[in-house]
């Protein structure tokens, strides 16, 4: 009889476990970056999925890399409507809907990786995260990427060196600064730069260090301007969860999501600075000339940015001047 009860209890436990497995919800995670090829943003999302599954709270994550579920700029709309659960997303891509997001890709506003980390706990980022949530998403992992400039024609150092070139710009603020320096703009997602250069649409580009490597842009350019100590290019590419998705999770599941996000963020923090070094090494091995921007060149670009991108942002975006001031106030 005792054995029978034990067996019954075992069968009941197994049944409950199987039921739990059957009821586990699969969340959809989309991003635009190459999958399984060493891109740190893809690896950050994959790590998040692994950590969340290990938490055993009835949630799994199916990752759709390389725009296989949504195109790059479709992800924000899908996320905020509850059609997509999770994304690793360049926030400036949504600046057409939320203009304040352009501050997260403002030329020269971040400058280096250490300062990017300090920005995360500043009033500047508190306001950005409030706007993200107000518009239907929640940050689960902060991620800042450094970036660079490259050209098929000549090295881009001073503002004069880009005059007459057709370049891709990472967002509206960069477009304004580059036009102010005499460049022409052809807008496209980072995933489209390779084809743009291959077909002659682009002479030059700027994008994140990770994208320069992942999209093999060393096959199309002759000179790379590395980020160095004074980088004009930094972009906020956080992991986000749909607020609609998050709000229907149990408190235990919400806690597990945030814990997995923290692990993913810690991983990315360690990888981010190394992406710049990896980019430089990869481009040199491919025979691309690599140069640095001097402080004088950086200051010249910053002067143009303040008269174009910063000014435009402050005048046309609600709360724009305060966002710039809050960011610049961070030591």
pLDDT in tens, 65-111: 999 999 988 999 999 999 999 999 999 999 999 999 999 999 999 98
Q: What is the pLDDT of residue 312?
A: 94
- Which range has highest mean pLDDT (6-15, 20-29, 254-263, 290-299)? 254-263
* CA dihedral over 40, 43, 48, 54, signed as positive or negative: negative
Domain-by-domain residue ranges, the chain? Answer: 21-328
Give residue 174's Cα distance to chain centre: 16
Sorted by sequence, the CB contacts under 8 Å of residue 206 that are 6+ apart come out as 147, 148, 149, 150, 167, 168, 169, 170, 174, 233
Contact 41, 29 (CB under 8 A): no
Phi, psi (degrees; rounded to nearest 5) at 107 = -55, 125
Query: Would the pLDDT of 20 be above 50?
Result: no
Q: What is the pLDDT of residue 162?
A: 96
Using alpha carbons, select from 184, 224, 195, 222 the residue that is nearest to residue 207.
Answer: 224
Binned at pLDDT 50, 70 and 90, residue 239 comes out as very high
Q: What is the pLDDT of residue 170?
A: 77
Q: What is the pLDDT of residue 210?
A: 84
Q: What is the pLDDT of residue 21?
A: 44
Q: What is the pLDDT of residue 190?
A: 84
Identify which has the larger pLDDT, 225 or 191.
225
Query: Would the pLDDT of 8 be above 60?
Result: no
* Per-position b or e across 182-191, b if 16+ CB within 10 A of its CB: ebebbebbbb
Contact 139, 238 (CB under 8 A): yes
Binned at pLDDT 50, 70 and 90, residue 228 comes out as confident
Using alpha carbons, select from 88, 87, 56, 67 the residue that is nearest to residue 255.
Answer: 56
Query: Would the pLDDT of 175 be above 70?
Result: yes
DSSP labels for 63-108?
A: EE-TTSSS-GGGHHHHHHTTS--EEE--GGGGTTTSGGGGGGG-TT
Contact 114, 194 (CB under 8 A): no
- Average pLDDT rounded to a whole number, residues 296-325: 94
Binned at pLDDT 50, 70 and 90, residue 19 comes out as very low
What is the pTM (predicted TM-score) of this model?
0.81
Q: What is the pLDDT of residue 208?
A: 87
pLDDT in tens, 245-254: 999 999 999 9
Per CATH, the number for 21-328 is 3.40.190.170
Phi, psi (degrees; rounded to nearest 5) at 30 = -120, 145
What does the alpha-carbon distance between residue 123 and residue 63 come to, in Å, rounded to a whole number?
32
Structure tokens at 128: 């950005």
pLDDT in tens, 196-227: 999 999 999 999 898 899 899 999 999 999 98
Give residue 257's Cα distance to chain centre: 19
Query: Would the pLDDT of 304 be above 50?
Result: yes
Classify residue 191 by its DSSP letter: G
pLDDT in tens, 123-148: 999 999 999 999 999 999 999 989 99
CA 105-222-149 angle, 5° bins: 10
Binned at pLDDT 50, 70 and 90, residue 28 comes out as very high
What does the alpha-carbon distance between residue 158 and residue 171 come to, in Å, rounded to a whole number?
20
DSSP labels for 112-177?
A: SHHHHHHHTTSHHHHHHHHHHHHTTEEEEE--EEEEEEEESSS---SGGGGTT-EE--SSHHHHHH
Query: Would the pLDDT of 279 be above 80?
Result: yes
- Average pLDDT rounded to a whole number, residues 256-278: 93
Using alpha carbons, select from 143, 125, 145 the residue that is nearest to residue 133.
Answer: 125
Binned at pLDDT 50, 70 and 90, residue 155 comes out as very high
- Average pLDDT rounded to a whole number, residues 56-60: 97
């Amino acid at each position: 009889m005792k054995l029978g009860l034990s067996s019954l209890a075992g069968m009941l436990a197994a049944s409950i476990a199987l039921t739990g497995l059957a009821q586990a919800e699969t969340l959809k995670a989309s991003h635009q970056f190459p999958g399984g090829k060493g891109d740190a943003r893809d690896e950050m999302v994959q790590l998040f999925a692994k950590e969340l599954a290990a938490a055993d709270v009835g949630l799994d994550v199916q990752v759709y890399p390389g725009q296989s579920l949504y195109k790059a700029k479709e992800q924000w709309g899908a996320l905020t409507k509850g059609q997509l659960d999770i994304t690793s997303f360049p926030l400036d891509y949504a600046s057409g809907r939320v203009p304040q997001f352009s501050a997260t890709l403002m030329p020269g506003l971040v400058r280096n990786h250490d300062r990017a980390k300090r920005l995360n706990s500043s009033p500047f980022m508190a306001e950005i995260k409030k706007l993200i949530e107000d518009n239907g998403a929640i940050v689960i992992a902060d991620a800042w990427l450094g970036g660079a400039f490259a050209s098929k024609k000549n090295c881009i150092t001073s503002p004069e060196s880009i005059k007459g070139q057709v370049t891709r710009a990472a967002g509206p603020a960069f477009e304004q600064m580059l036009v102010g320096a005499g460049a022409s703009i052809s807008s496209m997602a980072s995933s489209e730069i390779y084809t743009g250069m291959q077909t002659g649409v682009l002479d030059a580009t700027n994008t994140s260090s990770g994208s320069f490597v992942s999209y093999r842009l060393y096959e199309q350019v002759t000179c790379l301007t590395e980020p160095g100590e004074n980088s004009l290019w930094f972009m906020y590419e956080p992991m986000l969860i749909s607020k609609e998705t998050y709000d229907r999770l149990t408190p235990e599941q919400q806690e597990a999501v945030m814990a997995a996000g923290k692990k993913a963020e810690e991983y990315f923090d360690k990888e981010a600075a190394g992406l710049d070094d990896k980019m430089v090494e990869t481009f040199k091995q491919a025979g691309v000339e690599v140069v640095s921007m001097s402080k004088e060149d950086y200051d010249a670009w910053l002067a143009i940015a303040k008269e174009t991108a910063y000014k435009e942002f402050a005048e046309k975006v609600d709360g724009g001047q305060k966002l710039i001031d809050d960011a610049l106030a961070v030591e």
